[in-house]
Amino acid sequence: MGAMMKYDYWVVGAGITGMTVARVFAEQGKTVLVLDRRSHIGGNCHDEYDEYGIRVHKYGPHIFHTNSKEVWDFLGRFTEWRHYQHKVCAYVESMLLPIPINVDTINRLYDIAVTPATMAAYLASVSVKLDVVKNSRDAVIGRLGVDIYDKFFKNYTLKQWGIPAEEIHPSVCERIPIRFNRDSRYFSDQFQGIPLHGYQKMFERMAAHENIHLLLQADFKDVLGEVEYNGLVYTGPIDEYFNYRHGKLGYRSLRFVFTNYRQASFQEASVVNFPNDYEFTRTTEYRKITGQEAGSTTVSYEYPCNVGDPYYPIPTADNQNLYARYAEDAKKEGDVVFAGRLGSYRYLNMDAACLEGMRIARNLLNLHQNV
Amino acid sequence: MGAMMKYDYWVVGAGITGMTVARVFAEQGKTVLVLDRRSHIGGNCHDEYDEYGIRVHKYGPHIFHTNSKEVWDFLGRFTEWRHYQHKVCAYVESMLLPIPINVDTINRLYDIAVTPATMAAYLASVSVKLDVVKNSRDAVIGRLGVDIYDKFFKNYTLKQWGIPAEEIHPSVCERIPIRFNRDSRYFSDQFQGIPLHGYQKMFERMAAHENIHLLLQADFKDVLGEVEYNGLVYTGPIDEYFNYRHGKLGYRSLRFVFTNYRQASFQEASVVNFPNDYEFTRTTEYRKITGQEAGSTTVSYEYPCNVGDPYYPIPTADNQNLYARYAEDAKKEGDVVFAGRLGSYRYLNMDAACLEGMRIARNLLNLHQNV
């Protein structure tokens, strides 16, 4: 008796960042312990079959999309792809209109005949001229005008964040795309799809390496000091790592209600946004994403809330200032790299998380090789 | 740095024995580390959805059956049950005949009219009178005669064990039931079924306790000496624990070939035995067991073999003598309890494994309480 659990690297968090880091390490001959407090790997990408035999995304719809061939090829080693192109509709004035806003959205909403050639001029005629964009409402009305803001964005933003768009940093709504053509796809990246046999199978194949051990259902703090490692990649919440010494970072959470319907199809699109009606923000019909054939269909209703698993960093100045203090502390932790959505307090698409994971692992490997 | 991974108990092997032990420990306030070399818990009971969305038993059909209300109720805390009563047919002379042999099997095979009242007399008239039952062939012909032996048992036993029934201990075929009525069920236990939402969900719920950590994809030997514990329950292969110091125990393994068919139904029964045809012993159509509705159906073909995961202890005198030597060694390992199918080198039904797990955990808890 006496030795600790010994690994070259310890990766905390088995989400896409952590699993990518672990796989790159393992393939370079390094031993890795991956820890997660949940009973499964894959983080919020995790999918599973529900009690009706329908594969659902347990933590809300995850559509993979990237312009990085490197990421696409890396993940493609662990899964075949279903070449799915995501579409979203918004339920507005009893119509299902394409989102992001495109030429057809405008034409169907107002029964007019804008074309790709006249779309910019049309939007210029309805948008509000502002000298300063102070908040997310400004970011929308400055590009799309007040009526579209009211019908598509005002109430959705309030549901999503629990605060009015006037109180949210302009960058949140500045990111919302507008399509000056009839492209009704939600994303326009070169590579789009979902793992043909599900995210879980993809992550299982990433994890299936003799150099990787998985410690599940365990909190980092419970086993800290009992694991020996040369490097630690921490993808858990950065404020939790530091015992909330400066206070808690704000996260918006989601509550999902899954319902199974004994019918062939539930809604026209994979995802329907409800900006104005009900308390949920959107409904997702998973079989429309996965292509699964079955006698029933499962739909999730998505309710934003403030308690529960951390999903979205809340983009307020207070939170950014608080994070900056933790980021300063993080720099002083010599053998720890903070990474991923929770470790760096930023929303990351899956491809960005994967790319960051590859970069971090390679940097650490170079670093330790040079020592 | 310095402390090891510390738990009250270390459970090696996440099969039904190990998971039961772990759950009982956890509920008594003990911390438990469960280790398994596979990436999943549940051992050979594990089920999962294949790439066609059909839930299959990855390690062959597992039907739960018990006369123990205690076991039924214990597992029932972690799953609802589908009240499934298992049926098996044997394909003989182009007929699908009920197994175990019952009155209908005899009547359809020979086109005669035996009744439950005359079944015993009929079997007496065809069975071979033997003074000594020396092997498994004797065990069958002494009860059912040579013709039934030849048609149902001779070649199946050869496929199953790779050796003729003449070379197998009589106890193996003595256990085979004969039905003196028309009961076509494979088992006659009071409680029969399968977990309504699958074994995997049941084991996940058993494991979901704050006192249980899961270390997966890790070999016992790799982390031995790095875990501190008061007691160890080892459900891995006993010969491996002792580094095969007396030689390797013989196990029969199985190779499964899964095939998906785009049809509503594949065969008449959940399981069809092929005593004489093909090289596989049986085909299993999983949807007939699980009740899942889907547009296709997945079937496993089962090929016994000598290499692969250990399934069945091979019941020969040599193996029993070898095991006896390991069992002697095991008695000298003070803080280790050897348990389960692999730890005690015996075939165990699931209910027996669960019952043993409960008994072992309670014994250890009493033991350590009294110290």
Q: Does some domain include residue A229?
A: yes
Q: Is B212 on the interface with A (CB under 8 A)?
A: yes
CA proximity to B110, closest of B149, B159, B148, B160: B148
Q: Is B218 on the interface with A (CB under 8 A)?
A: yes
pLDDT band at A1 (very low <50, low <70, confident <90, very high): very low
Residues A238, A335 within the same domain: yes
pLDDT band at A370 (very low <50, low <70, confident <90, very high): low
Residues A152, A195 within the same domain: no
Are A294 and B55 in contact (CB < 8 Å)? no
| Chain B hits for A222, Cβ within 8 Å | 213
What number of C-beta contacts closer than 8 Å exist between A and B?
A: 99
Q: Does some domain include residue B110?
A: yes
* Least CB–CB distance from A217: residue in B214, B228, B294: B214
Residues A46, A110 within the same domain: no
Edge-first strand listing for the sheet containing A32-36: A336-338, A227-234, A5-12, A32-36, A212-216, B212-216, B32-36, B9-12, B231-234, B336-338
Q: Is B226 on the interface with A (CB under 8 A)?
A: yes
Burial of A214 (0-12, 13-18, 19+ CB in 10 A): buried
pLDDT at residue A321 greater than cutoff 90: yes
Letter for the amino acid at B228? E
| Chain A hits for B39, Cβ within 8 Å | 204, 207-208, 214
Q: Does some domain include residue A182?
A: no
How many Å lie between the alpha carbon of B288 and the closest alpha carbon of chain A? 14
Residue B159 region by backbone torsions, left for phi larger than 0, else alpha for psi between -120 and 50, else beta? alpha
| Chain A hits for B6, Cβ within 8 Å | 226
How many Å lie between the alpha carbon of A55 and the closest alpha carbon of chain B? 8
Residue A334 is predicted with a pLDDT of 85
Are A5 and B292 in contact (CB < 8 Å)? no
Are A4 and B4 in contact (CB < 8 Å)? yes
How many Å lie between the alpha carbon of B31 and the closest alpha carbon of chain A? 11
> CA-CA distances (angstroms) from residue B253 to A158, A298, B160, B161, B256?
59, 39, 9, 9, 10
Residue A2 is predicted with a pLDDT of 46
| Chain B hits for A196, Cβ within 8 Å | 51
Q: Does some domain include residue B332?
A: yes
Q: What is the CATH number of the domain that holds A59?
A: 3.40.50.720
| Chain B hits for A6, Cβ within 8 Å | 226
How many Å lie between the alpha carbon of A138 and the closest alpha carbon of chain B? 47
Q: Is B185 helix (H, G, I), strand (E, B) or coil?
A: coil
pLDDT band at A368 (very low <50, low <70, confident <90, very high): confident
Q: Is B197 on the interface with A (CB under 8 A)?
A: yes
Q: Does some domain include residue B212?
A: yes
Chain A residue at shortest CA distance from B209: A217
| Chain B hits for A218, Cβ within 8 Å | 213-214
Domain closes at, from A114, A148, A174 = A174
Q: Is B93 on the interface with A (CB under 8 A)?
A: no
Residues B80, B92 within the same domain: no
| Chain A hits for B223, Cβ within 8 Å | 5, 213
Q: Is A93 on the interface with B (CB under 8 A)?
A: no
Give the range among A20-24, A302-306, B1-5, B227-231 with minimum mean pLDDT: B1-5
Residues A12, A117 within the same domain: no
* Least CB–CB distance from A39: residue in B196, B214, B296: B214
Are A217 and B216 in contact (CB < 8 Å)? no
Chain B residue at shortest CA distance from A54: B53
Letter for the amino acid at B245? R
Residues B329, B234 within the same domain: yes
pLDDT at residue A159 greater than cutoff 80: yes
What's the CA angle centered on B345, arms B342 and B348, to 5 degrees?
A: 80
Provide ipTM, 2 decimals: 0.83
Q: Does some domain include residue B118?
A: yes
Domain closes at, from A174, A204, A224 = A174
pLDDT at residue A327 greater than cutoff 50: yes
CB contact set of B249 (below 8 Å; sequence gap of 6+): B237, B238, B239, B313, B319, B322, B323, B326, B345
Tens-place pLDDT, residues A36-76: 999 999 999 999 999 999 999 999 999 999 999 999 999 99
| Chain B hits for A2, Cβ within 8 Å | 4, 225
* Cβ count within 10 A of residue B1: 8
Q: What range does the domain containing B108 cover?
A: 88-174
Measured distance CA(A341)–CA(A170) in Å, rounded: 20
Residues A159, A124 within the same domain: yes
How many Å lie between the alpha carbon of B243 and the closest alpha carbon of chain A? 19
How many Å lie between the alpha carbon of A229 and the closest alpha carbon of chain B? 10
Q: How far from chain centre, in Å, is Cα B227?
A: 30
DSSP state of A280: -
Rg (CA), chain A: 22
How many Å lie between the alpha carbon of B226 and the closest alpha carbon of chain A? 5
Burial of B357 (0-12, 13-18, 19+ CB in 10 A): buried
Is the peptide bond prior to A61 cis by the omega test (within 30 degrees of 0)? no
How many Å lie between the alpha carbon of A251 and the closest alpha carbon of chain B? 24
Q: Is B69 helix (H, G, I), strand (E, B) or coil?
A: helix
Residues B323, B200 within the same domain: yes
Q: Is B291 on the interface with A (CB under 8 A)?
A: no
Which phi and psi (to 5°) does residue A187 adopt? -115, 160
Residues of A (38-57) whose Cβ lies below 8 Å from B: 39, 49, 51, 53, 55
Residues B93, B165 within the same domain: yes
Are B1 and A4 in contact (CB < 8 Å)? yes
Residues B166, B204 within the same domain: no
Average the pLDDT over A89-100 and give the result. 96
Q: Does some domain include residue B306?
A: no
Residues A80, A97 within the same domain: no
Q: Does some domain include residue B283?
A: no
Residues A163, A22 within the same domain: no
Spell out the per-residue pLDDT of chain B, length 371, in tens.
345 688 999 999 999 999 999 999 999 999 999 999 999 999 999 999 999 999 999 999 999 999 999 999 999 999 999 999 999 999 999 999 999 999 999 999 999 999 999 999 999 999 999 999 999 999 999 999 999 999 999 999 999 999 999 998 898 898 889 999 999 999 999 999 999 999 999 999 999 999 999 999 999 999 998 899 999 999 999 999 999 999 999 999 999 999 999 999 999 999 999 999 999 999 999 999 999 988 899 999 999 999 999 999 988 889 999 999 999 999 999 889 999 999 999 999 999 999 999 999 999 998 777 55
Residue B1 is predicted with a pLDDT of 39
Q: Is A189 helix (H, G, I), strand (E, B) or coil?
A: coil
Measured distance CA(A107)–CA(B100) in Å, rounded: 71
In percent, the amount of chain A with pLDDT more than 90 equals: 90
CA proximity to B280, closest of B258, B300, B302: B302
Edge-first strand listing for the sheet containing A95-99: A95-99, A88-92, A271-273, A282-285, A297-305, A251-261, A312-313
**How many domains does the structure of chain A reveal?**
2
Domain closes at, from A114, A147, A174 = A174
User: Which of B5, B52, B222 should we substitute to test contact with A (largest number of A Cβ atoms within 10 Å)?
Assistant: B5
Helices B16-27 and B199-207, packing angle to 10 deg: 30
Helices A350-370 and A16-27, packing angle to 10 deg: 40
